[in-house]
Structure 1
């Protein structure tokens, strides 16, 4: 009895390259490698239960806040609708909290790459904002900075 060719055995199952893509690739996080972006997207979906791209949006929010020209102090503003996930990131402190949660949810190598990206942002945030002497000491350090007003008012 003749032997079946290997290609004939694999044909009914389909090859890897012939398999149709069911979903688009996950969005890439600005400033991170593809492997770390994939780990961040997995953490967004599986651990943090966030919308895709939330970490990228938080990262861009922090960069945008710190990109203000000059050397004068910056004052974070509270989000008008802090309970809704879309508006919560208007407050740069909430964006930094989301990035800290993401760091805790990542495996070691993606965590180190993301922390290297966040280190200069945290240094600039610390240098450009003023400490609040009356802030609650149980809050993270980025929440214990002087704030001003509400975003959108």
Structure 2
């Protein structure tokens, strides 16, 4: 009975992701922009795979917080982001990536980030003196 070659057996198996084989996933971006982000993450030595996706997620989650919390964080200076990810550093990283991308892909990412920036830049309602 003829045996099957190992290459044919391996070809039929599902592909396992390798270490560092993560893909950028940002809603609202084309495949071209996502592949450019992935290329930047793999070629720049200060970026890890998934950093841009994580930065978009962190910035978006932070600007969706209640205005009162954002205002109190700012006023008290009591921002403890050392245990978690810093949203302002995430936004700075996004700005650096926007300048490094091609104009067409940067425009797409700027639309996504611009939605969150619009939430951040909305005028805060006046708060009572005790901050509640």
Which category of TM-score, normalised to the shorter sequence, fits these structures? 0.5 to 0.7
In structure 1, list runs of 5 or more residues that go unmatched.
Answer: 1-17, 82-86, 130-153
TM-score (norm 2): 0.64
TM-score (norm 1): 0.56
Separation in 1, partners of 2:61, 2:123: 13
Residues 39 and 106 of structure 1 are in contact (CA less than 8 Å); yes or no, is this contact kept in structure 2?
Answer: yes
Separation in 1, partners of 2:48, 2:42: 7
1 or 2, which has the higher helix percentage?
2
Matching of residues 45-64 of structure 1 within 5 Å: 45-47=42-44, 49-64=46-61
2:81 aligned partner: 79
**Residues 48-72 of structure 1: CA distance to partner in whole angstroms, max 9, x if unpaired?**
6311000000100011112224x53
**Residues 77-104 of structure 1: CA distance to partner in whole angstroms, max 9, x if unpaired?**
35326xxxxx5xx111000000001001
Residues 64 and 119 of structure 2 are in contact (CA less than 8 Å); yes or no, is this contact kept in structure 1?
Answer: no
**Residues 92-121 of structure 1: CA distance to partner in whole angstroms, max 9, x if unpaired?**
100000000100110111111001111111
2:103 aligned partner: 108
CA-based RMSD of the aligned residues comes to 2.7
Query: Which is greater in Rg?
Result: 1
Separation in 2, partners of 1:72, 1:57: 24
Residues 47 and 105 of structure 1 are in contact (CA less than 8 Å); yes or no, is this contact kept in structure 2?
Answer: no
**CA separation of 1:34/1:26 partners in 2, compared to 1, >3 Å: closer, same or farther?**
farther
Residues 28 and 34 of structure 1 are in contact (CA less than 8 Å); yes or no, is this contact kept in structure 2?
Answer: no
How many residue pairs were aligned?
Answer: 102
